[in-house]
Amino acid sequence: MLMLKESQIMKIHYISGVAALFVVAVHILIRLPVVTGMPFSMSLEYENVVANYQNIAYAVLLESMLVLIAIHGFNGLRIILLEFRQNIVWENGVTVFTLVAMIALIAYGTRTILIANGLG
């Protein structure tokens, strides 16, 4: 079982939330037609998206966005679920479920980036 103190988890929660806001803002700014030099609909075409994934800096940005939002979101879900019932089985179950779901989502998202780069 993860032996982090609740205050340590909440510190990660706050920091991941603020950091996610920053990376999402950067992501949105990069998607602006002024920056990409093409219409928004064209930037979402298959080749352009794959090209984005192949850009190392952009891939790092997307990966960090995925990790930060997954951590923040699943911890938020854990907090909500903890308040439904108060017993050890439920509490441990919720912690394991959210941890596994978070890792699964990050793994699936990372796989997409790897496949786009011909590594999958």
Binding site for another protein (CB under 8 A): 5-7, 10-11, 14, 79, 82-84, 86, 91
Instruction: Report, in Å, the least distance between residue 74 CB and another protein.
Output: 15
- Of 105, 22, 16, 15, the C-alpha closest to 61 is 22
CA dihedral of 49, 50, 55, 60, whole degrees rounded to 10: 80
In the structure encoding, which two tokens stand for residue 49, read together? 């998206």
Nearer to another protein, 77 or 79 (CB): 79
Instruction: Report, in Å, the least distance between residue 104 CB and another protein.
Output: 23
Nearer to another protein, 19 or 59 (CB): 19
Instruction: Report, in Å, the least distance between residue 11 CB and another protein.
Output: 5
- The counts of H helices and E strands in the chain are 6, 0
